[in-house]
């Protein structure tokens, strides 16, 4: 018997499954009170190691609408975690008899993947550090689907703190999968992380271009805008010039607040982006809906609340039917005709040396008792690898082979022949020698195929 189905990443769902969730959500939205017979006797556990209002309450409301029950630990500082209990042990206890499904929010990137590996019931990632927030992404996609009737080919502005917002990262991946175009308008100093751009290039064929965002007016006045599109370079060459891709029309503006809980409040001295009616008066934005995952601060003026293009409160309300669809599906109470998501990427444990992940808030650093540092290969030529928990790219200048016992510079051609589970990623030659590896000329054994 196969294990439970989890929702750790938006990648866990195929596009067909996402569309099916949208259709289910529309059914639930017509009369949310009519579905109390779907999940009677089932219990959802809310494990929130970080504060939350909308995500936690919308999940709990969704479960109650389906006829189930809820147990909640809204502040895990008051739980056994304060006594040193590990996340792995917590989910084993909660999933061992307290609940039929777990909704988890945690400050460490990769925490949801760890929980899923130990849980006997489905785990839903309600946000893990600055990594991913797949159910918020589904909510955001669902709103675009409701407002525009499609996602393919639309143009979406992502504005504000693009570096630390987990919502933005998940949303960008999902938009790329659907074939939407993305205009990045970051707060100065908070641009989209390189590892996100790298993944968009490698996995989704997205081509980053400089954007000519002059028609976005004051929204992009102080930003180096970037246009991310799945169109091919030879197609783009027909339309772009030295000033960049001209942004003429936008379908949605997605504004984000500064994620000060993940960085110092004084990291950026410049005035934060602010969206108001003056900015939205630009011709290119006349038909654009305004979205925000909430909570907001001052990045959207209150004068926008009465603007018919502002849907951020509708956006929050629509989180209930989409989460009803997620819960019903993972609990096996909704039949699915869609093909499931792709098989999981192969992950390899780090068995030699220190944890190579550079991210200090990765779960592989913050909870070491039950977490074995692991990696996955992004490419063989050039050789690139990511932390299997938090997706951060691993920095290394030398790579060793555990079979031959020797090390090479990271760009050595022979590394392409080394089995992935025999690779050791090294900072420098000193670390290589300290771990007992030798230079290649001192070994005659060929690298294994």
Per the DSSP assignment, residues forming a β-bridge with 229 are: 207
Residue 103: both structure tokens together? 């909704």
Contact assessment for residue 215 and residue 248, using Cβ atoms and an 8 Å cutoff: yes
**Each residue of 35-69: pLDDT tens digit?**
999 999 999 999 999 888 889 999 999 999 999 99
Residue 241: the pLDDT is 57
In order of 91, 97, 101, 369, the CA distances from 85 in angstroms are 10, 18, 20, 10
Cis check for the bond before 382: say yes or no (omega within 30 of 0). yes
Phi first, then psi: give them for residue 106, nearest 5 degrees: -150, 145
Catalytic residues: 54-55, 83, 105, 133
Residue 334: the pLDDT is 95
**Each residue of 132-171: pLDDT tens digit?**
889 999 999 999 999 999 999 999 999 999 988 878 888 9
Average pLDDT of span 78-96: 80
Residue 241: both structure tokens together? 């010039």
Residue 248: the pLDDT is 85
Residue 343: the pLDDT is 64
Residue 163: the pLDDT is 87
Q: What angle do CA 305, 56, 133 make, to 5 degrees?
A: 80
Cis check for the bond before 205: say yes or no (omega within 30 of 0). no
Helix (H, G, I), strand (E, B) or coil at 335: coil
**Each residue of 98-110: pLDDT tens digit?**
999 999 999 999 9
What is the set of domains in the chain, with CATH numbers?
A: 10-134+319-330 (3.40.50.1370), 150-310 (3.40.50.1370), 348-442 (2.30.30.20)
Residue 414: both structure tokens together? 């022979």
Residue 38: the pLDDT is 97
**Each residue of 234-290: pLDDT tens digit?**
455 555 555 677 788 899 999 998 875 555 555 555 688 888 898 899 998 999 999
**Each residue of 350-366: pLDDT tens digit?**
999 999 999 999 999 99
Average pLDDT of span 294-298: 84
Residue 234: the pLDDT is 47
């Amino acid at each position: 018997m196969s294990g439970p189905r989890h929702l750790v990443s938006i990648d866990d769902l195929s596009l067909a499954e996402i569309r099916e969730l949208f259709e289910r959500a529309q059914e639930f939205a017509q009369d949310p009170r009519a579905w109390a017979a779907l999940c009677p006797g089932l219990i959802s556990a809310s494990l929130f190691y970080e504060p939350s209002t909308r995500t936690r309450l919308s999940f709990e409301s969704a479960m109650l609408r389906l006829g189930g029950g809820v147990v909640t630990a809204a502040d895990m500082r008051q739980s056994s975690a304060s006594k040193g209990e590990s996340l792995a042990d917590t989910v084993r206890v909660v999933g061992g008899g307290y609940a039929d499904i777990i909704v988890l929010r945690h400050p460490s990137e990769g925490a949801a993947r760890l929980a899923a590996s130990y849980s006997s019931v489905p785990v839903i990632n309600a946000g893990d550090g600055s990594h991913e927030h797949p159910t918020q992404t589904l909510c955001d996609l669902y709103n675009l689907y409701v407002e525009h009737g499609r996602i393919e080919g639309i143009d979406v502005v992502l504005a504000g703190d693009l570096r630390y917002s987990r919502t933005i990262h998940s949303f960008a991946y999902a938009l790329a999968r659907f074939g939407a175009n993305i205009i990045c308008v970051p707060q100065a100093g908070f641009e989209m992380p390189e590892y996100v751009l790298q993944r968009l290039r490698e996995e989704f064929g997205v081509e980053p271009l400089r954007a000519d965002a002059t028609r976005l007016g004051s929204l992009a006045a102080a930003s180096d805008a970037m246009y991310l599109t799945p169109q091919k370079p030879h197609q783009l060459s027909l339309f772009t010039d030295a000033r960049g891709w001209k942004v003429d029309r936008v379908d949605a503006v997605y504004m984000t607040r500064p994620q000060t809980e993940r960085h110092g409040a004084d990291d950026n001295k410049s005035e934060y982006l602010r969206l108001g009616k003056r900015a939205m008066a630009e011709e290119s934005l006349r038909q654009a809906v305004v979205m925000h995952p909430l909570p907001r601060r001052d990045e959207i003026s209150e004068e926008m609340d009465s603007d018919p293009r502002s849907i951020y409160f509708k956006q929050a309300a629509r989180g209930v039917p989409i989460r009803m669809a997620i819960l019903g599906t993972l609990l096996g109470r909704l039949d699915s005709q869609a093909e499931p998501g792709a098989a999981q990427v192969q992950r390899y444990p780090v068995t030699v040396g220190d944890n190579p992940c550079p991210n200090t808030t990765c779960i592989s650093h913050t909870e070491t008792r039950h977490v074995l540092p692991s990696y996955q290969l992004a490419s063989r030529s050039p050789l690139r690898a990511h932390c299997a928990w938090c997706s951060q790219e691993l920095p290394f200048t030398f790579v060793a082979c555990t079979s031959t016992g020797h090390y090479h510079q990271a760009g050595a051609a022979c590394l392409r022949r080394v089995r992935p589970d025999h690779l050791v990623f090294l900072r420098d030659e000193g670390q290589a020698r300290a771990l007992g590896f030798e230079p290649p000329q001192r070994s005659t054994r060929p690298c294994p195929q």
